[in-house]
Amino acid sequence: MKKQYEPMFDTFTFKRGVSVPNRIMMAPMTNFASKENGEVSEEELEYYRVRSNGPGTVITAVAYVTRGGKGFSHEIGADKDQLIPGLARLASTIKDQGAKAILQIFHGGRMCPPEELLDGQPVSASAVAPLREGAVTPRELDHTEIEGIISDFGDATRRAIEAGFDGVEIHGANTYLIQQFFSPHSNRREDEWGGSLEKRMRFPFAVIDSVKKAVDQHAKNPFVIGYRISPEEMENPGIKMEDTLAFVDQLAEADLDYLHISVQDFWSGSMRDKEDKESRIVLIQDKVGARVPVIGVGSLHTPDEVMKAFDTGIPFVALGRELIMEPNWVKKVQEEKEDSIRQTLTKNDQKKLVVPDYLWNAIMNSPGWFPVEEK
User: What gap in Å lies between CA 6 and CA 2, rounded to an integer?
Assistant: 7
Q: What stretch of H or E contains 250?
A: helix 241-251
Residue of 176, 227, 258, 358 with catalytic role? 176
What is the Cα–Cα distance from 210 to 219, expressed in whole angstroms? Answer: 14
Tell me how crowded residue 28 is: count the other CB atoms within 10 A of its CB.
26
| DSSP-derived secondary structure for 71-101 | -STT-EE-SSGGGHHHHHHHHHHHHHTT-EE
Residues 6+ apart with CB under 8 A from 255: 15, 212, 225
At residue 294, φ and ψ (nearest 5 deg) are -110, 135
Q: What is the DSSP letter of 339?
A: G
How far apart CA 308 and CA 288 sit, in angstroms, is: 20
Establish whether the linkage from the previous residue to 237 is cis, with ω within 30° of 0.
yes
- Give yes or no for a contact between 128 and 185, defined as CB atoms under 8 angstroms apart: yes
Of 238, 242, 280, which Cα lies nearest the Cα of 259?
Answer: 280
- Rounded to 5°, angle at Cα 10 from 28 and 31: 10
Nearest to 171 by CA among 312, 69, 97, 239: 69
Length of the chain: 375
Active site annotation includes 176: yes
**How far is the CA of 47 from the CAs of 74, 105, 318, 343, in angstroms?**
15, 19, 17, 18
DSSP reduced 3-state for 372 = strand
Rounded Cα distance between 33 and 362, Å, is 12
Q: Are 161 and 177 in contact (CB under 8 A)?
A: no
Which residues carry out catalysis?
176
